[in-house]
Amino acid sequence: MTETHGEIRLDVRDQVAVLTLHRPAKLNAITPQMTDQLTGHIAALNGDPQVRAAVLTGAGRAFCAGSDIGGLAGYDSAVQFGRRPDYCDAIHTLAKPVIAAINGPALGGGLELALGCDIRLAAGSATFTAPEIKLGWIGGGGMSALLAHSIGTSNAALMLLTGDPVDAATALRWGLVTEVLPAADLTGRAMQLATVIASRAPIAAQAAKRNLRAAFEMPLGRAIDYERQLQTICFATEDAAEGRAAFAERRAAVFHGR
């Protein structure tokens, strides 16, 4: 299934959905209309049991330049701006594991989109920037918290307080991305990883994603207890029974999300 209308393109290949930000002439800067499209696509993917993993990438030479600055003048007040639907919130609602294939610059909200993904891969030409301070504000889609969790407070402060870009090699060294690849190999590697994840038990994969996020929000004791509860839920599924049977029979498990 492929939906090519609009500036957020959705292509479902087997059990993997590819979401492409498709406004290359504007470095894939996000408009309110694109936010609506992304929100709609993610709601559809959450409701589709055939989709088990996703890839998020950009068209052209950029991953995403964040919000379309030219459109921000359309808000009557700062309060109205702060209450707008946010594309970063949309990516956080995606229940399926999602891989960011960062093909070029990720700036501002584009960096926040990448940080909202579970695994981040980057082309060697990718750069990562939190430029809001140069414009007189700060990020509002989780920039500070997500950066600090990913790269530590000192590195996060360097990015947030200077607004200067970080190259792909530095991002890899800091742990902002998992792998840096030649641009020609980026999409293939993202699809390979997504396909592997899609072959795993989908209930367990979604539980693992939820558990990782909860681990940052809870004290250690509560986080371990929450993990045990999720483990118990997964253990009761048909997929877990299939996994045990496949192990005993020395064959590959076939999971159905039940």
Residue type, 216: F
CA atoms within 13 A on the CB side of 48: 19
Would you kindly state where each structural domain of the chain is located, as residue ranges? 2-198, 201-249
Residues 132, 217, 227, 242: which is the catalytic one? 132
CATH tag, 2-198:
3.90.226.10
Q: Fill in the DSSP letter of residue 5.
A: S
Whether 132 is catalytic: yes
Helical H segments across the chain, by residue range: 32-46, 78-82, 87-92, 109-115, 132-135, 143-151, 153-162, 168-174, 183-199, 202-215, 220-235, 238-249
Given pLDDT bands bounded at 50, 70 and 90, which one contains residue 12? Answer: very high
In this predicted model, what pLDDT tens digit does every residue of 175-203 receive, in sequence order?
Answer: 999 999 999 999 999 999 999 999 999 99
Residues 3, 7, 112, 217: which is the catalytic one? 112
For residue 73, what pLDDT is reported? 61
**pTM metric for this prediction:** 0.92
Given pLDDT bands bounded at 50, 70 and 90, which one contains residue 1? Answer: low
Place of tokens 């500070």: 144
Q: Are 87 and 142 in contact (CB under 8 A)?
A: no
Residue 150, classed as helix, strand or coil, is helix
Please name the helix (run of DSSP H) or strand (run of DSSP E) that holds residue 55, with its range, or none: strand 53-58
Q: Is 108 a residue whose pLDDT tops 70?
A: yes
In this predicted model, what pLDDT tens digit does every residue of 16-69 receive, in sequence order?
Answer: 999 999 999 999 999 999 999 999 999 999 999 999 999 999 999 999 999 887
For residue 84, what pLDDT is reported? 61
Question: In b/e form, how buried is each residue of 190-224, taking b as 16+ CB within 10 angstroms?
Answer: bbebbbebbbbbbbbbbbbbebeeeeeeeeeeeee
Burial of 158 (0-12, 13-18, 19+ CB in 10 A): middle
Check if CATH label 1.10.12 holds for domain 201-249: yes
Please name the helix (run of DSSP H) or strand (run of DSSP E) that holds residue 61, with its range, or none: none
